Structure formats: C-alpha cells, structure tokens
C-alpha cells in the first residue's frame, strides 16, 4: 500500500480515537460525590452517613432570603418582613474580634480551613420538638428567623443547611465557636402522659413503640420511603434536666448511627471538638446548665441545656456515652 494511503488511514483512525476519547455525556466531568459529604470552608469531607446538602435536590437552604414553605408569591423579603426580623438567618463568626485584614478576607466568605479549625471547638446538640427535619426547617427558617448547620431526621438522614464556616443562629452566645445540630425528636416533658406522646408515639402490630407522624403532615418529608421509626429504647426514658424529672422517648437507631459518624467526622475536621461532654466532679454527665466560666473553657459535645437554664434539650433520653464511645470507635 503506498505511503500516502497509509497516512490517510492512520489520520482517520487517530481522529476517530480522539473524538471517541474526548466525547462525554454532559455533567459526567463533575466531581463525583458519594452522598455522605459535609462541607467546611468549601471543602468536602466524607462522613459515612447519608447527607443531603443545601445544594442538593431535596435539601434545605438556609442561605435563602425567601421563606421555604409558603406560596412562592408570598415568600420574598417584602412579603416576609412582617413575619421574620431579618432577611438573613446566619452571620459572621466573631465579627467584632478580627483584625481588619482577616475581617476583609472572611467577610466575603473567604475562610481558609486552618482559621476555621482554630475557631470551632463545640458541637451543640438540640432536639427540634418538630418531629421531622422538614418541619424543623419550616419553624427555624420560615417562622423564627433562625438556622442550624445540621438537621438529623428520624431515618438517619443528615441535612446540612450552611457551610460550617457560617455562624448559624441556634445557641446564643455559643454560636461563634460552635457547630449545631437539630435532632428530630418531640422532646422531654414533666408529665409522662403529655398529649404529645399519644400524638407522636403508638404501638405496631407486635406491640412495639413506634413513631406515628400525624396524618396532617403526610410522610413528614422523611427521605426514606415508608420509613417507620422506632425509639432505640422501647419505653419512656425518665431522668433529671435542670433539677426536674423529665420524660422522653429515645432517638432511633438510625439517628444514633448517623450522629456517631457525623461526630467522628467533625472531630477529624475540628480537632478542638473533643470527644467528651460536660461532667461533674464525680465524672458523670452534668444535667444542669454549666457555669459560664466553665463553658468558656469547655471543648467538645455540649447540650443546649448546658448553655442556658431555659432549655432541656437534648433531654434525658439522649445517650451521650453511646455517641462518644461510638465516635471514638469510628476513628480506630
């Protein structure tokens, strides 16, 4: 075969090869996520638990000015300012304490990870008294002009609503230094026969205590189809909070599993969040507000009721040891 013919065939072959090699389906060159990532200062970190980000379909976006669960034509700021006090639901960590150069860097969102790691040293645990994360976001974002970094639904799905660089509005004076999570749980009460228990908890065909989302809420926005949640301990847990006896149903096993993995991941990202909780002189869990001076020196997991005597969350049913020991085991 003459050389020109060979060269012609080679060029045709090379062209087809290059065309095939460079051809991609739109979107396939995007970063491939596993669905377990959380975001801190723009960086993605794996947790091993199911995570839905504010940028994902079905996510909850605390950056939005608009209210999420009202008709669209009523959701903008002009129609919302009689209901919520501020168009934003978050702020800047330690905004009055930074040198001018640092403030100029971070005011536009330009946090670097080392700076954030030196800033965050507490993980604040709340229960939402809403029952599901969808309802929690409705109450926080649309009605109370508040925010939280994470919500943990009854099926173990974690929703992240803001980058962890942001100062979410969830824990008052602790907001500057903390990451917060709202756990879907109906809370703790003085009366073991409080009406909320009969509304939200019932028995299945085998007599086991289960979560019963009210019919008016449909499926409650729970991501797992037809999910039925069972408290990890199948009875009311009784215990002291702020010096009073309270009654509460436990979290689901799915919630504990995801919370343990998230806690371990947060400790890896923020080593100043120690894997421990407030303890008394006897080494046992403190079940009342922690003295303000002691709060300043504490690093680790902390309940909302440890920060203020006006709160009871995460309640007597919350198993601190299960979470802390589980997170430590995840790191081995």
Contacts of 111 (CB under 8 A, 6+ apart): 41, 42, 105, 165
| pLDDT tier at 1, thresholds 50, 70, 90 | very low
Q: Could you tell me the CA-to-CA distances from 80 to 63, 86, 168 in Å, in that order? A: 15, 9, 20
Q: Taking residues 7-13, what's their average pLDDT? A: 51
Residue 117 tokens read as 């790691």
pLDDT attached to residue 18: 46
pLDDT at residue 84 is higher than 90:
no
Q: What is the DSSP letter of 147?
A: -
SS3 285: strand
Query: How many Cα neighbours within 13 Å face the side chain of 294?
Result: 14
Letter string b/e over residues 257-285, b meaning 16 or more CB atoms within 10 A of that residue's CB: bbbbbbbbbbbebbeebbbebbeeeeeeb
The dihedral formed by the CA atoms of 164, 165, 167 and 169, expressed in degrees to the nearest 10: -20
Residue 113 tokens read as 């990870």
d(CA 160, CA 328) in angstroms, rounded, equals 22
Contacts of 218 (CB under 8 A, 6+ apart): none
Q: What is the DSSP letter of 129?
A: S
pLDDT tens digits along 45-59: 999 999 999 999 999
pLDDT at residue 289 is higher than 60:
yes
The structure's pTM equals 0.90
pLDDT at residue 278 is higher than 90:
yes
Mean pLDDT, all residues of the chain:
92
d(CA 270, CA 31) in angstroms, rounded, equals 24
- How far the first Cα of the chain sits from its last, in Å, is 66
Domains parsed from the chain with CATH numbers = 45-191+230-330 (3.40.80.10)
């Amino acid at each position: 075969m003459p050389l020109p013919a060979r060269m012609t065939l080679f060029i045709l072959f090379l062209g087809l090869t290059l065309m095939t090699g460079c051809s991609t389906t739109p979107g396939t060159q995007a970063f491939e996520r596993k669905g377990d990532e959380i975001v801190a200062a723009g960086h993605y970190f794996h947790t091993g638990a199911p995570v839905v980000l504010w940028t994902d379909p079905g996510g909850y976006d605390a950056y939005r000015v608009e209210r999420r669960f009202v008709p669209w034509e009523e959701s903008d700021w002009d129609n919302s300012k009689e209901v919520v006090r501020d168009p934003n639901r978050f702020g800047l960590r330690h905004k009055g304490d930074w040198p001018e150069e640092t403030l100029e860097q971070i005011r536009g969102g330009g946090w670097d990870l080392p700076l954030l790691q030196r800033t965050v040293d507490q993980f604040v645990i709340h229960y939402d008294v809403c029952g599901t994360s969808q309802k929690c976001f409705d109450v926080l974002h649309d009605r109370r002009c508040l925010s939280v970094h994470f919500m943990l639904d009854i099926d173990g799905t974690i929703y992240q609503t803001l980058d962890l660089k942001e100062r979410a509005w969830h824990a008052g004076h602790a907001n500057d230094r903390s990451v917060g999570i709202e756990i879907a749980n109906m809370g703790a009460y003085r009366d073991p026969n409080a009406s909320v228990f009969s509304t939200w908890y019932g028995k299945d065909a085998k007599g086991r205590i289960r979560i019963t989302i009210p019919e008016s809420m449909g499926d409650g926005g729970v991501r797992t189809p037809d999910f039925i949640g069972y408290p990890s301990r199948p009875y009311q847990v009784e215990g002291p909070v702020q010096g009073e006896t309270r009654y509460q149903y436990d979290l689901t096993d799915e919630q504990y599993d995801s919370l343990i993995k998230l806690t371990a991941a947060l400790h890896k990202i923020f080593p100043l969040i120690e894997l421990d909780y407030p303890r008394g002189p006897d080494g046992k869990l403190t079940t009342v507000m922690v003295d303000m001076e002691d709060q300043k020196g504490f690093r680790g997991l902390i309940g909302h009721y440890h920060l203020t005597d006006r709160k009871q969350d995460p309640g007597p049913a919350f198993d601190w040891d299960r979470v802390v020991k589980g997170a430590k085991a995840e790191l081995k």
